[in-house]
Each structure stands twice: as C-alpha cells, then as structure tokens.
Amino acid sequence: MVKVELSFGGSFNFVLVLMFYVFVIPTRCQDEVVMNILKNSISAPIVLQWTDPNVCKWKNINCDSRNRVTDIKLANQTLQGILPKELVKLTALQRFECQGNGLTGPFPYLSKSLQRLIIHDNQFTSIPSNFFTGMRNLQEVNIDDNPLSLWQIPNSLRDCVALRYFSAHNADINGTIPDIFGRDGPLSGLVFLELSSNYLEGVLPASLSSSSIEFLLVNGQNSNNKLTGTLDVLQNMTSLKKIWVNDNSFTGPIPDVSRLDQLSDINLRDNQLTGVVPPSLVNLPNLGLVKLTNNYLQGSPPKFRNGVEVDNNMVGSRNQFCTNVPGQPCSPLVNVLLLVIEPLGYPLEFAENWQGNDPCANKWVGIVCADGNISVINFQNMRLTGHISPNFASLSSLTKLLFANNSLTGTIPNQLTSMPLLQEFDVSNNHLYGRVPSFSEGVVLKLGGNPDIGKDKPSTSDNLGLGGSGNKSNGVSVIVGIILGIVILLCIGALLIIKFGKRFRIHTRMGKHPDAIKVHHKYQWDENDVKVSVVSNGEVSGVLSTTGNVYEASNMVISIQVLRQVTYNFCEEKIVGKGGFGTVYKGELHDGTQIAVKRMQSGMGDEKGPNEFTSEIAVLTKVRHKHLVSLLGYCLDGDERLLVYEYMPQGALSRHLFNWKEEGIKPLEWKTRLSIALDVARAVEYLHGFTQQIFIHRDLKPSNILLGDDMRAKVSDFGLVRLAPEGKLSFQTRLAGTFGYMAPEYAVTGRLTTKADVYSFGVILMEIITGRKALDDTQPEENIHLVTWFRRMLLNKSSFQTIIDQTIEVDEETYASINTVAELAGHCSAREPHQRPDMSHAVNVLSSLVEVWKPAEQDVDDIYGINFDMTLPEALQRWQAFEGRSTLDLTLSPSPMQTTGDNSHTSESPKVPSDARK
Ligand SMILES: *[C@@H]1O[C@H](CO)[C@@H](O)[C@H](O)[C@H]1NC(C)=O
Ligand SMILES: *[C@@H]1O[C@H](CO)[C@@H](O)[C@H](O)[C@H]1NC(C)=O
Ligand SMILES: *[C@@H]1O[C@H](CO)[C@@H](O)[C@H](O)[C@H]1NC(C)=O
Ligand SMILES: *[C@@H]1O[C@H](CO)[C@@H](O)[C@H](O)[C@H]1NC(C)=O
Ligand SMILES: *[C@@H]1O[C@H](CO)[C@@H](O)[C@H](O)[C@H]1NC(C)=O
C-alpha cells in the first residue's frame, strides 16, 4: 500500500505519500502510549527509572520478542493514583502486579491475555463486574485487602478456565459462593481458593466436592448469617491440604475425612458443629494443626498424635465433650445416645444441652430417667430430620419412644420390636414408609400422619436415601449457585477513541504587524488530561482547527511531546510513507482528528537540512487552498524537524485509479474523476496564480493527489515546490520530479515554468481517462509511454473509444465529456510549453463539464468564513480589516468574514491577470 515513487535530484528532494486506511492502531505503538499514560497516572517514582523512550527498557517492565509489554511488576513501590483505563490496550499483557501500594479508584479492565493479577493491599474501590469475562488465560488472582464496594463473585469467573489460584481475602464480597468448582466444571484446575473475611452467606457449594482444591479458606465472614449448612462436601475433597472454615455458622457433624490424606491444617473453630469428632480426623496421617474450639462437639475429646498442634481451649470452650480428658471414653449410656442421634445429624438442640457424662443426672433434653435408667425418649416436636436408629433397641429400659411431629424419613427398624419394656411407640406425623414391624401386643403404636407407611417406597423422591446423613440442612434447599451478574460486553471500541467533540482549539488575536500577533495554542486532551500548551513566539499568527484547515500561519509550533504521543513515539507501524527527505506517520489526536506527521531525517544535510525545512514551512504556510493539503503545524526541537498535515483518509488517487482491485475498492465513476480533475486544476491554478511569486509544484501525479472521504481531492507534496524568483517566469533549477510526468523541456534543459505543471496535469487527465499509468511496463514497447500512446489513439475516433477505462460506464453524455477531457489532456501535454494552455483554461473546461452534473451545494468551508479561492494578498487584506479586534475564535463562532454565494464549484477563480503568468 505504501508507495514510494522514485524521484531524482538533490538529496533534499523527497516524495511524500500521506494516506491509506490504517484502521488498526498498531498495538506495539499503543503499548508505549499506554505505558506513558500509566507513568503519569501513578506518578512513577524516580527509582523506577521510567525515562527511556523504549518502554521495554523500563525497570519492572518486561516485553516479549515483538517488544510488546508482557509484565508490569510494581509491588511495594509506594505508588498512588488511579490506574488508567487504557491499560486494557496492552493486549500482550500477561502479568500485572501492583500489590502493596496506595493505588485507588476503580480497577480497570485488562487484556484477555492476562495470566497473573496480583493487586492485593491497595485502595481499589471496585473491580468491574465483568472483569473476568473471557479471561481464559488467567491463572492467578490475588485481590486481597482492597476496600472494594460490596460485590459478588461474578458468574463470569467461569470463563477463567485456566484459573489455579484465586484469593480474595477481605475484598468486600457478599452473596453466595457460586457452584462452579467441580471436576467437570470450568474451574477444574483451581487449587487455591481464598474467600475469607468477606460478607458471604449460604452454603459451601456442592461442586466443591469433586474439585481438586488443595487450599480452601472461607473463614471469617462478616455477614449476619455467615456461611451455613454442613461441611459434608469436604469428605470428598481428597486433594485438600488446608481447610479454614472457622468463624462461620456451619452446623452438623465433622464429616468423615478419612480420604483426605493430604490434609495438614484444618481450622473448624467458632462454628456450630456438633457430634463426635470422627476417628478419621484423629487418624489423618499428615495432620499438623487442628482447631476445634467453640463448637458444640460431643462425645470423647479427641486425642491427637504427638506433634499435632491443637488449639488449647478445645475442651474448655462451649464444646460439649463428655469429659475434659482427651482420649477418655464416655459412659456407655452417653455412647448409645450419641449413636442414636447420629442418624438425626446430631441436632444442635441436643448438643447445646447435653452436658457431661451422665444423661440422667444432667437432665438431658428429650431424655426422661427413672432410677438412673432411661425410661422415656421424648423427641416430639423437635423438627428432626433423618431416620430412626436401630440402636434405640439397646436402651433396654425404655418404656416410651416418642417421635411425633417431626420430619423423620426412612423405615421403622425391626430391632425396635425386641425392646422388652416398650409400651408406646409414637411416630405420628412424620414421613416414614415401609412395612411396620410386628411389635408385641402390649405396645401402643401411633403411626398416623405417615402417608406412605405400609408402602414399599416413599411417594416423594426427596425422602429417598437422606436418612443416613440427615441433618438440619436437609430441610434447607441447597442453593445451586446462580449469581446474577450483569455481564456487559466490552470488546467493541477497544481500538476506538471516543470523540468528544472539538477540543483542538486555538485562539488567536490578529494584529496589524506580525509582531503584534499573539498565539495561544491550547491542545486539550480528554481523559488523560494531557494538556499541552503551545505558544508560538509570536512572529506570525496561526490558527488551527479540527477541520484541519490552516487559515494563516507560520510558526505553528507543536511540541515534540504531542507528536510523540500521537505517533506512538514514531512507531514503525504508524508509518504511512517514506521518502528521501523523511518519514510520514499517521497520528490521531485524542478527539479523533487524524493527522499526518512528516519527520525529516535527522542529521540530514546538517546545514542544508534546516534550511530546507524552514523554506518548506515558508512555502506551505503561504499557500493555502481547500484543494491543497494543509499544513497544521510544525515542530523544531533539537534534531527533530517535523511537519504536521491534515490526514486524507481515502489515500492517493493512484490507489483508486490503478490499484482499486487489490485494495478491494470500487473504481471511480466518471463524475468523480471529473470532479477530482477539477479540484486538482483549481489547486494548481492557485499555485500558479500568485502575482509576486509563482509556485511550481514540479511533481504532480496521482500519488500526490489525496482524497478525502467525500472523494474531493487535495494536492499534496510540496517538497519539490519551487518559487519562481520574482519577475522571472522561467528559471533553472535542479531537476526533480517523476518520470512519465515530467515535461520534456524541463527534463532536457532543467528550465522550469508553470507549463511543466500543466504538462503533468495533462498526463494525469490521460490516466484518469484510461486507468493506465504514465509509464506502464506491462505494455508492449511502443505503448509504455502513456502520452505517446494516448496521442496516437486520439487520432481516430474508433481507436479512442478503446482506450477509455473499462470500468467507466459510457453513455452518450459521458462520452462527450470524456472526449472533451481527452482533448484537454492532449492540449495540456503538448510538446512545446507555449502550446499548452494555462491552468485557468483547464479549470474553465473542467468546471463547465462538472456543472452539468453538480447540483449547487452548500460549501462547508464557507461556514468558517474563509474563501479558499482567495489569494493570500486578498486574504491578508481581509484580515487586516479585523485589526484591533479581540480574541477571535474561528472554530466556534461564524466569522464576519463569511462570504456569500458559492464560488467553490463554479468557474470563478483567483483573478490573476493572465499576463502575469505569461
Ligand atoms: C512487599 O512487601 C511485603 C511486606 O513488606 C513483603 O512481604 C513482600 O514480599 C513484598 N513483595 C515484593 C514482591 O517485594
Ligand atoms: C450485597 O450488598 C449490596 C450493598 O449492600 C446489596 O445491595 C446487595 O443486595 C447485596 N447482595 C447480596 C446477594 O446480598
Ligand atoms: C462423595 O462421593 C461419593 C462417590 O463419589 C458420592 O456418592 C457422595 O455423594 C459424595 N458425597 C458428597 C457429600 O458429595
Ligand atoms: C436400671 O439400672 C440398674 C443399675 O443402674 C440396673 O441394675 C437395672 O437392671 C436397670 N434396670 C433396667 C430395667 O434396665
Ligand atoms: C402434633 O402437632 C399437632 C398439630 O400441631 C398437635 O395437635 C398435636 O398435639 C401434636 N402432637 C404431639 C404429640 O405433640
């Protein structure tokens, strides 16, 4: 796409190509910009030494082989400030670590390439709820200890399929723990899960059961309810090494942990656990630390191996061990009672009450004694779940066994029929089923209110198989964690910068003398608050606007910092053109205004370079016309010499004439070609039309004709522009230009007149008609030179028809138009300069053709009150009328200079006496 056309001549000659679609912001360049924004946002301390132009050389930053930023590691740097949202544009970022700083504000989105996010111990106030969406590479997350406003673990955490480590201690999470952890689930690789000191509620999700988690820390929830339910899921978490569930509201017994043979650290204290400590816990081979204080544990206090650290008030706390001596067994009666309540899930009601080692002496709830023997079990109205233990049968002194008004399930055990003294058996109003065993005749049976009694199966499936581990939470439906999170799509617009209107505003005050003119350039950047003020030294005024037009200028100084920013530090990927004189970069201001920045080769020509540079500015600031590409500003800073032009999004005419197929664009219609030709003719006419100095372009060709989105053309590349010395219409100069477009007399003698441009224009017209290049090597020898071939074909009508570009739809009217232009082309490229017409003639011919089609339309440029067809002296005269007026903001207020009428599409042209050009 980037075409660098050959030019020859002095080393100061260059061919500039400004153009092209570059929609994708080059990512590497982007990194540099983003890193600089980051640097400013966190006021990077001096120790970081973030000064090198190459961000990859910055301390604590790593890049990959393509110079993309991959790691940012800023732990413990006493950083403050807010992270910029531009960080998301670091699309190769893998590690972001900023733990142990004072960073605040909302945490920004980061790239989906992220693998490691370590941001604990900061002051971040929020994390986007959909931060984790699509984070398929994320392996490690630590967001501990940030004052985030209450949020929930987002369901989008499911997307983090690579996640191994997730730590969110004291991170203000409320809601429940989502059920996304199973072996077959998205987070099957998770090894470390810390959610302690948050505001979580609800149960441990069932999917934890089949996870590979080794470290599970959910302790210390601050919510009113804390985490509830049983610890049953732990029994299958065979990878567990560390469990901290302390300081919650877990109930029920400690599950069988015999399969958790990796477990070394278990903290269950400060819950409401009941029942006996299972031997499986005591016997764990790798146990090192166990904490059981402040539960309602029952039975014999466990005696752990030597070397296992146990919290020292395990026994003295509210636990209900039957003795204070670890390892000492309970009385047989206590053992039986603990056995019979096991299938009931060790109800808290019993655990709170059943103190000591003697049920009768201590009047245990539900137990009625007579003569030191248990005579009645009265478990009525206790909301019990679970099933009836056969071990009741071993309480041989029982006379009454009362279970009325509970939610017991299962069947009535046969063993109960063997109880010698039993008189009453009341299980009314439960959910029992099955055959009723045959009690001896004297026993009063109360079975009412059990709809399924006598049937083989319970009618509702929820009662099936719950008996064995029945507990309070069976009545509570397990929340299968679906947390509602707002998932907002974020991907669009990552490369687009929102336009916030016209922020690129410059005020100027014009005075009588150049010295009196003060210029205040104020570049306002949104978001990042990069404010760059450029104040020119006041020699001549400059006005710069978002429309990209220069109204009058010289000394439109733009700082090197701004140009570095917009070109991503002159990143290679921003290059849109290269020539002998320098490199052209595309840039975009934060308001979306696109610019082309030409960077002169530094160190070039040493003495000559700067002269060329200044003389170019001199030329470019004198010529201003809506069909000439505008100079927006320049920068002279040390070795750096830069020119800033408006950017032309549709690229060069050559692209549309010769490369449309490769570029996948539509070939130009005849009408468009005609209007482009007229635009060019007007521009060149203007250049030639100055009375005192005549500008000669010297390098007119389709690659120097740039198109805007409206397909209106502007002539660019004034690098070869030469001023005819005052009073001289012909002068000798170093030869420069492009073969195929160069007038023969100029090529041979180096003598230059405006007619050299007319010749080139003629060649361009031929190209516009034929779609063929000035020099076409693919043609047979005699046809390579377009001008020669065209003239030959023009001789007769039938052959002429064949040279019209195939893509042009030719009707009668079009044909006539093409014919006229073809004649004009031949005329313009006549061999002898004096046979060629002036550009004003070409303008007249073309505008009369264009007028046939063009409806009159409002010219937007007139809104700004500038008549671009005015010559500079005319314009200066007008401006002098404003002498003494105060600040004039041309970009905002309609100027009183506004002219009436539309003279931009008519044949009106600078009224330059024609003899001035002869
Ligand atoms: C940051 O400081 C903390 C506390 O002083 C220390 O534990 C930690 O290792 C440090 N981290 C790094 C990456 O230096
Ligand atoms: C979490 O806390 C916020 C703020 O208090 C509240 O609006 C929200 O309902 C809570 N969410 C849950 C699930 O408790
Ligand atoms: C543990 O796993 C077994 C078999 O894999 C299963 O039957 C049982 O329901 C699981 N227990 C829990 C509490 O998930
Ligand atoms: C009641 O307890 C005493 C001893 O405490 C025992 O001798 C007696 O047999 C018991 N009675 C019954 C009916 O089990
Ligand atoms: C069982 O509950 C019912 C209704 O609440 C009540 O009428 C009845 O007396 C209760 N039965 C027992 C034994 O408490």
Query: What does the pLDDT read at residue 777?
Result: 86
Cβ neighbour number for residue 767 with a 10 Å cutoff = 26
Burial (Cβ within 10 Å: 0-12, 13-18, ≥19) of residue 856: exposed
Query: Nearest C-alpha to atom 6 of ligand 3 is from which residue?
Result: 236
Cβ neighbour number for residue 220 with a 10 Å cutoff = 20
Cβ neighbour number for residue 744 with a 10 Å cutoff = 15
CATH number of the domain that 336 lies in?
A: 3.80.10.10
- 908 and 832 in a common domain: no
**CA-closest candidate to residue 698, choices 1, 9, 2:** 9
Taking the CA of residue 151 as reference, the ligand 2 atom at the shortest distance is 1
- 674 and 636 in a common domain: no
In a domain, 706, yes or no: yes
In a domain, 751, yes or no: yes
C-alpha dihedral sign at 36, 37, 40, 42 = negative
- 660 and 627 in a common domain: no
In a domain, 114, yes or no: no
Query: Nearest C-alpha to atom 5 of ligand 4 is from which residue?
Result: 372
The CA 405 to ligand 5 mean position distance, Å, reads 6
* Structural contact between residues 536 and 557, judged by C-beta atoms closer than 8 angstroms: yes
Tokens linked to 4: 């660098």
Which residues span the domain enclosing 529? 504-646
CB 76 near ligand 1, within 6 Å? yes
Q: Which amino acid is at 323?
A: T
Cβ neighbour number for residue 606 with a 10 Å cutoff = 7
- 738 and 769 in a common domain: yes
- 436 and 370 in a common domain: yes
Query: Nearest C-alpha to atom 2 of ligand 5 is from which residue?
Result: 405
**Below-50 pLDDT ranges, the chain:** 1-25, 462-554, 604-610, 856-918
CB 150 near ligand 2, within 6 Å? yes
Strand partners of residue 444? 424
Query: What does the pLDDT read at residue 308?
Result: 95
Query: Nearest C-alpha to atom 2 of ligand 4 is from which residue?
Result: 373
What residue ranges line ligand 3, CB within 6 angstroms? 209, 232-233, 235-236
Distances in Å between the alpha carbon of 169 and those of 119, 173, 660, 788? 12, 9, 59, 82
Catalogue the long-range contacts made by 50-57 (C-beta closer than 8 Å, 24 or more residues apart): 53/569, 55/31
CB 202 near ligand 2, within 6 Å? no
- Cα separation, 822 vs 377, in Å, equals 116
Tokens linked to 457: 């199966």
699 catalytically annotated: yes
Sequence-distant (≥ 6) Cβ neighbours of residue 730 within 8 angstroms? 724, 751, 752, 753
The CA 338 to ligand 4 mean position distance, Å, reads 20
In a domain, 216, yes or no: no
Sequence-distant (≥ 6) Cβ neighbours of residue 757 within 8 angstroms? 684, 687, 688, 696, 697, 698, 700, 839
Sequence-distant (≥ 6) Cβ neighbours of residue 637 within 8 angstroms? 559, 560
Query: Nearest C-alpha to atom 13 of ligand 3 is from which residue?
Result: 233
Query: What does the pLDDT read at residue 38?
Result: 93
Taking the CA of residue 421 as reference, the ligand 4 atom at the shortest distance is 13
The CA 397 to ligand 4 mean position distance, Å, reads 7
CB 75 near ligand 1, within 6 Å? yes
- 681 and 629 in a common domain: no
**CA-closest candidate to residue 208, choices 230, 234, 243:** 234
From 832, 852, 872, give the residue that closes a domain.
852
Nearest ligand, CA 429 = 5
Tokens linked to 692: 């005192």
- 842 and 890 in a common domain: no
The CA 357 to ligand 4 mean position distance, Å, reads 17
- Cα separation, 38 vs 528, in Å, equals 10
Nearest ligand, CA 178 = 2
Query: Nearest C-alpha to atom 12 of ligand 1 is from which residue?
Result: 75
CB 381 near ligand 5, within 6 Å? yes
CB 95 near ligand 1, within 6 Å? no
- 642 and 540 in a common domain: yes
C-alpha dihedral sign at 680, 684, 687, 689 = negative
Tokens 């390892």 correspond to what residue?
327
- 663 and 616 in a common domain: no
CB 404 near ligand 5, within 6 Å? yes
- 629 and 748 in a common domain: no
CB 580 near ligand 2, within 6 Å? no
CB 396 near ligand 4, within 6 Å? yes
CB 380 near ligand 5, within 6 Å? yes
The CA 420 to ligand 4 mean position distance, Å, reads 13
CB 373 near ligand 4, within 6 Å? yes
The CA 150 to ligand 2 mean position distance, Å, reads 7
CB 174 near ligand 2, within 6 Å? yes
Which of 149, 155, 174, 176 has the most ligand 2 atoms within 8 A of CB, as the residue to mutate?
174
C-alpha dihedral sign at 418, 332, 348, 398 = positive
Query: Nearest C-alpha to atom 1 of ligand 1 is from which residue?
Result: 76
**CA-closest candidate to residue 231, choices 212, 215, 218, 214:** 218
Domain count, the chain: 3
Query: Nearest C-alpha to atom 6 of ligand 2 is from which residue?
Result: 150
CB 100 near ligand 1, within 6 Å? yes
Sequence-distant (≥ 6) Cβ neighbours of residue 771 within 8 angstroms? 657, 658, 667, 805, 806, 807
In a domain, 860, yes or no: no
- Cα separation, 310 vs 312, in Å, equals 6
Nearest ligand, CA 223 = 2
Sequence-distant (≥ 6) Cβ neighbours of residue 257 within 8 angstroms? 234, 235, 263, 266, 278, 280, 281, 284
Tokens linked to 840: 């004003």
The CA 450 to ligand 5 mean position distance, Å, reads 14
Which of 72, 76, 99 has the most ligand 1 atoms within 8 A of CB, as the residue to mutate?
76
In a domain, 730, yes or no: yes
Nearest ligand, CA 101 = 1
Query: Nearest C-alpha to atom 12 of ligand 2 is from which residue?
Result: 175
- Cα separation, 208 vs 187, in Å, equals 10
The CA 130 to ligand 2 mean position distance, Å, reads 17
In a domain, 31, yes or no: no
- Cα separation, 793 vs 787, in Å, equals 10
In a domain, 544, yes or no: yes
Catalytic residue among 144, 699, 717, 805: 699
C-alpha dihedral sign at 546, 548, 554, 558 = positive
Tokens linked to 428: 């009314």
- Cα separation, 710 vs 423, in Å, equals 102
- Cα separation, 143 vs 372, in Å, equals 59
Burial (Cβ within 10 Å: 0-12, 13-18, ≥19) of residue 206: middle
Nearest ligand, CA 373 = 4
Cβ neighbour number for residue 189 with a 10 Å cutoff = 16
CB 372 near ligand 4, within 6 Å? yes
CB 430 near ligand 5, within 6 Å? no
DSSP letter for each residue of 661-691: HHHT-PPPPHHHHHHHHHHHHHHHHHHHT-S
- Cα separation, 435 vs 437, in Å, equals 6
Cβ neighbour number for residue 914 with a 10 Å cutoff = 11
- Cα separation, 6 vs 720, in Å, equals 13
Helix (H) or strand (E) holding 377: strand 373-378
CATH number of the domain that 689 lies in?
A: 1.10.510.10
The CA 612 to ligand 2 mean position distance, Å, reads 68
The CA 800 to ligand 2 mean position distance, Å, reads 80
- 642 and 674 in a common domain: no
The CA 373 to ligand 4 mean position distance, Å, reads 6
Pairing verdict, β 173-176 and 151-152:
parallel
DSSP letter for each residue of 58-122: STTEEE-TT--EEEEE-TTS--EEE--GGGGG-TT--EEE--SSEEEEEPPP--TT--EEE--SS
Pairing verdict, β 192-194 and 215-217:
parallel
Query: What does the pLDDT read at residue 882?
Result: 34
Nearest ligand, CA 421 = 4
CATH number of the domain that 620 lies in?
A: 3.30.200.20
Taking the CA of residue 97 as reference, the ligand 1 atom at the shortest distance is 13
Taking the CA of residue 150 as reference, the ligand 2 atom at the shortest distance is 2
- Rounded to the nearest angstrom, the gap between the alpha carbon of residue 340 and the centroid of all alpha carbons in its chain is 61
From 646, 673, 699, give the residue that closes a domain.
646
Nearest ligand, CA 394 = 4
DSSP letter for each residue of 684-745: HHHHHT-SS-EEE----SGGGEEE-TT--EEE---TT-EEEPTT-S-EE----B-TTTS-HH
- 622 and 585 in a common domain: yes
- Cα separation, 726 vs 911, in Å, equals 19
- Cα separation, 434 vs 687, in Å, equals 107
From 613, 646, 679, give the residue that closes a domain.
646
Query: What does the pLDDT read at residue 564?
Result: 81
The CA 156 to ligand 3 mean position distance, Å, reads 27
The CA 473 to ligand 5 mean position distance, Å, reads 23
Query: Nearest C-alpha to atom 1 of ligand 4 is from which residue?
Result: 373
